[in-house]
Amino acid sequence: MAQIPASTMRVDPPTPLSVDPCDEDPLAVALLAVQGNVFNGESLEAIFRGSPPGIPLLAVTSRRLMMLDTATFEDRSALVSVPLSGVSSVAFVASDDQSFEATTTVGMVLLRKPVLLVCESRDEARELHDMLIWTLTS
């Protein structure tokens, strides 16, 4: 059974990272960019780290999704913001030999573009799925 995310669910903004701007790790640089791009009046709800073949990072705020896109712009990384209104569907994605209850992969359609996030655990996948579907159906 899906759990409705608590309306009071908030995460404190992450402690500022000390990362060398010349750091080669795009994930660390993206985390800094996420922290620096949260607007006044906007709250950071959750951050999800992904594994291949999906996107490596997804941040959920009270207004939008921010994702690290390493595939769309050839050899460049982009921190892409999508308003929550741009999320048209959310799905659990399972392989042929896997059940939907056991999957760690969440699929989303963001502004007509399919996006996958392979979460670290099925609980994390459930949290992301339920957070987004609650937003879509509210």
Give backbone dihedrals phi and psi of 58, rounded to 5 degrees, phi first. Answer: -140, 125
- The reported pLDDT for the residue numbered 94 is 94
- The reported pLDDT for the residue numbered 74 is 84
Q: Give the count of domains, the chain.
A: 1
Residue 3, in any domain of the structure: no
Residue 1, in any domain of the structure: no
Residue 70, in any domain of the structure: yes
Radius of gyration of the chain (CA): 15
Residue 21, in any domain of the structure: no
**Report field, pTM of the whole predicted structure over 0.85:** no
Whole domain around residue 122: which residue ranges?
A: 26-137
Give me the count of residues in the chain: 138
Residue 14, in any domain of the structure: no
Residue 56, in any domain of the structure: yes
pLDDT digits (tens), the chain, 138 positions:
444 444 333 444 444 445 455 556 767 777 888 888 899 999 999 999 999 999 999 999 999 999 998 888 888 888 899 999 999 999 999 989 989 989 999 999 999 999 999 999 999 999 999 999 998 888
Residue 7, in any domain of the structure: no
Please report, for residues 106, 113, 120, the alpha-carbon distance to residue 117 in angstroms, rounded to integers and kept in the order given.
5, 13, 10
Residue 5, in any domain of the structure: no
Instruction: Indicate which CATH number applies to the domain containing 121.
Output: 2.30.29.30
The torsion angle over the Cα atoms of residues 30, 136, 10 and 93, rounded to 10 degrees, is: -60
